[in-house]
Amino acid sequence: MVWRGILVILSVVFAVCVAVEEKEHVLTLDHTNFTDVVTKHNFIVVEFYAPWCGHCKKLAPEYEKAASVLSSHDPPIVLAKIDASDEANRGLATQYQLKGFPTIKIFRNGGKKIQEYNGPREADGIVSYIKKQSGPASPEIKSKEDAANVIDYKKIIVVGIFQELSGEKFEKYITLAEKLRADYDFAHTLDAKFLPRGEQVDKPTLRLLKPFDELFVDFEDFEVEAMEKFIEESSIPIVTYFDKDPENSIYVSKFFNGIGAKAMLFVNFSTELDAFQSKYKDVAVLYKENGLKGLSFLLGDVEAGEGAFNYFGLKPEQAPLIIIMENDGQKYLKAHVEPDAISSWLKDYKEGKLKPYVKSQPIPEVNDEPVKVVVRDTLEKMVLNSGKNVLLEFYAPWCGHCKALAPILDEVAVSFEKDSNVLIAKLDATANDIRTDEFDVKGFPTLYFKSASGKLSQYNGERTKEAIIEFIEQNRDDKPAQSEADSTTSESVITDSAKDEL
């Protein structure tokens, strides 16, 4: 019994020791040692986390496993972490412009170069990604065996073909590879015959191999900016497919992150794909061949595009439908589109003949709560052209901060109940299009104040009844409210204007 007790104690002690040893694989940093540690390393990975963050908690054991494996790498690769929510470390969070948790950054050359980590969040994927990032930005292909090891036929890879591995063009290529290594795979060679696609070349050439469209494309301008633009444009398919195939997800991300207007056609892939895809691709090819590069094309499955339908305030029953979304958020839409009508509809868009589509909730039949409900179709009437002092909240129904603010705004509204020159209102920014020329809404809740004379300002003060009331009193105008007759005339004009816009 004594020996059994001793063995239990020893096993517990051993387990604790192992746990401590495992925890030491991820180096813990704070504001006192962060700069010194990063400066001493040519390559170090740092996770900025918050202890209360669910995603951080999920990542922690995977990050730990990866750190254990990478500590045995030759040379060892250090993974570190810092609690960026700690008040003492907030300066570093600001310095590195954190937008959420967890954020992982790769620091090179003693912190002189910083790269966002865009890899997997499970141990094996982290190890694979970090090993690749710690090596050369562009490995050399010296044989067909090298090419087979480097080139993944399902991914995009950029290959520099040179007659010698020196000179200005080669140096610019390496600069490009270092800059974009987190987003693309690179390699270089002295002999194009090792590559699976393309002919021999007798001058420095950038060859982009891809698993779609023409499968490879060459480029000869070695200015870094020109190469970067070439890669960005060439790595998006003529038509991006949006379905449940995980291999398409990277191209869908590139499509939505790309610049320029976007054309999106949603059909039922199981019953309508054959009727639409060839005609849609023909239109996309025509646009590209005619040099009309301002429009990218996506073909999406209705089932996979549920999120897109919710975003645009549409219903699957409206498919097949085509949507165009411009950089400023302006949208154009045609529901129940026929395959043969796509080309002429896009032609009308390019010629400016289409009217924008504006998403708006229905105008509420009853609007008698202290905080009045505004929708996109009443924004001009109730806020911008109301002649009143209006505090408008842009909110999301699921937002916890918005829910906490709601009773406070109710109290503010009640305090101004007998003041006809002041209105407290709210607009669901997830269900109504926002006037981006007037309002800059990047998070929820966002509060704007429009004075009676039309001056617009954002409210960034404390979210208390007293602070909000004080702000309204200091920024309001004493312009008298419109007479009923004037209000009726104004409303009539605004309604006609709104109808024209819609």
Which residues are catalytically annotated?
Answer: 53, 56, 399, 402
Which residues in 63-161 belong to E strands, given as ranges?
Answer: 78-83, 103-108, 113-116, 140-141, 157-161
Tokens read off for 450: 């429009």
- Residues whose CB falls within 8 Å of the CB of residue 193, separated by 6 or more in sequence, listed in order: 200
Question: How distant, in Å, are the alpha carbons of 255, 281, 316, 317, 428 from that of 265?
Answer: 13, 11, 12, 14, 27
- Location of structure tokens 């975003």: 311
Residues 92/82, Cβ–Cβ less than 8 Å? yes
Question: How distant, in Å, are the alpha carbons of 99, 290, 328 from that of 180?
Answer: 21, 29, 27
Report d(CA 178, CA 145) in Å as an integer: 24
Chain centroid offset of residue 371 CA: 32
Q: What amino acid occupies position 406?
A: A
Q: Is the peptide bond before 51 cis (omega within 30 degrees of 0)?
A: no
- Location of structure tokens 């400023």: 328
Chain centroid offset of residue 362 CA: 29
Report d(CA 28, CA 147) in Å as an integer: 39
Per DSSP, the three-state class of 295 is strand
Give 390's strand partners.
423, 450
Tokens read off for 394: 């842009």
